[in-house]
């Protein structure tokens, strides 16, 4: 199965447990793009709309693109009260629209699913002159010296061929990543690139943390019996450590103009 379709299988769990984004991020995007009711926005990979409401609240027309049918239907229902909202059940690659149509293209923890040599050139074409590209990702982590995190790594090595990449150590985020993405954006013709970082903390009990893991594509694609054993041991470990898991989110925002 294409990993992109795994998010489509359990829509309500995804909506309940995927992180939202901080108010400061949206304020910075809106200020940078001067977004208002006279402008048009396109959201790439809306999912269940964790990042959509602040854009709708500006009054701008929001066109959302979502590959998963269930996710698209869920978002259509979720935002049905907004007459400035529409959603297309298609991939960004197959989305058809005239060039120079949008004042802003934004994507929340989704643009990495699109091949670079397709996504950036198409984004450039869809944007009007001086239009804004706003790409942001949430990078959850645990403190590297957290004993619970270290225990998790041992469990993952036991049951899977991948490390716990969804919840990394805080040391995993480096300026090298920020520079690489910034240079990539510039290489496709965008200018005035800005990088902003935001931080927030989330706390889970054992059942909530397992529900969160079920929103990650690599976890969802594990063989069912292996996943059952993995989740069981993780849940028991969390209970042994006081039934609390603290996740530290770093949200990366990349802004640029056409």
Q: What pLDDT, on the 0 to 100 scale, is given for residue 3?
A: 47
Q: What is the pTM of this model?
A: 0.88
Q: Is residue 183 part of a domain?
A: yes
Q: What pLDDT, on the 0 to 100 scale, is given for residue 1?
A: 43
Q: Is residue 100 part of a domain?
A: yes
- Burial label for 127, CB within 10 Å (0-12, 13-18, 19+), is buried
Q: What pLDDT, on the 0 to 100 scale, is given for residue 204?
A: 95
Q: Which helix (H) or strand (E) is 124 found in, with range?
A: helix 116-126
Q: Is residue 240 part of a domain?
A: no
Stretches where the chain sits below pLDDT 50 are: 1-9
CB 122 within 8 A of CB 92: yes
Q: What is the pLDDT of residues 177-211, one digit of tens each?
A: 899 999 999 999 999 999 999 999 999 999 999 99
Q: Is residue 66 part of a domain?
A: yes
Domain holding 89, by residue range, is: 3-141+170-201+247-257
Q: What pLDDT, on the 0 to 100 scale, is given for residue 163?
A: 55
Q: Is residue 190 part of a domain?
A: yes
Q: Is residue 231 part of a domain?
A: no
Q: What pLDDT, on the 0 to 100 scale, is given for residue 10?
A: 59
CB 238 within 8 A of CB 206: yes
Joined tokens for residue 228 = 């059952």
Q: Is residue 103 part of a domain?
A: yes
Q: What pLDDT, on the 0 to 100 scale, is given for residue 167?
A: 62
Q: What pLDDT, on the 0 to 100 scale, is given for residue 130?
A: 98
Largest CA distance in the chain: 56
Q: Report the number of distinct structural domains present in the chain.
A: 1
Q: Is residue 215 part of a domain?
A: no
Q: What pLDDT, on the 0 to 100 scale, is given for residue 253?
A: 98
Q: Which residues lie across from 108 on neighbouring strands?
A: 136
CA geometry: angle 47, 135, 126, nearest 5 deg: 90
CATH of the domain at 104: 3.40.50.150
């Amino acid at each position: 199965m294409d990993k992109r379709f795994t998010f489509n299988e359990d829509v309500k769990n995804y909506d309940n447990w995927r992180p939202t984004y901080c108010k400061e991020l949206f304020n910075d995007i809106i200020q940078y793009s001067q977004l208002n009711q006279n402008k048009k926005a396109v959201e790439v990979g809306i999912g269940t709309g964790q990042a959509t409401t602040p854009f709708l609240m500006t009054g701008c027309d929001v066109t959302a693109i979502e590959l998963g049918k269930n996710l698209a239907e869920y978002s259509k229902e979720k935002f049905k009260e907004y007459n400035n909202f529409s959603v297309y059940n298609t991939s960004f690659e197959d989305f058809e629209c005239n060039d120079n149509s949008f004042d802003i293209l934004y994507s929340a923890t989704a643009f990495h699913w699109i091949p670079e040599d397709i996504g950036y050139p198409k984004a450039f074409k869809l944007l009007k002159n001086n239009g804004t590209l706003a790409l942001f990702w949430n990078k959850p982590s645990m403190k590297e010296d957290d004993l619970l995190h270290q225990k998790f790594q041992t469990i993952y090595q036991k049951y899977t061929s991948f490390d716990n990449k969804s919840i990394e150590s805080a040391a995993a985020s480096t300026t090298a990543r920020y520079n690489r993405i910034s240079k990539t954006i510039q290489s496709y013709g965008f200018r005035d690139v800005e990088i902003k970082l935001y931080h927030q903390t989330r706390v889970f009990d054992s059942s909530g943390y397992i529900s969160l893991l079920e929103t990650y594509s690599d976890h969802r694609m594990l063989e069912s019996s292996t996943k059952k054993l993995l989740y069981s041991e993780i849940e028991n470990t969390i209970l042994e450590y006081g039934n609390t898991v603290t996740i530290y989110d770093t949200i990366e925002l990349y802004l640029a103009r056409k």
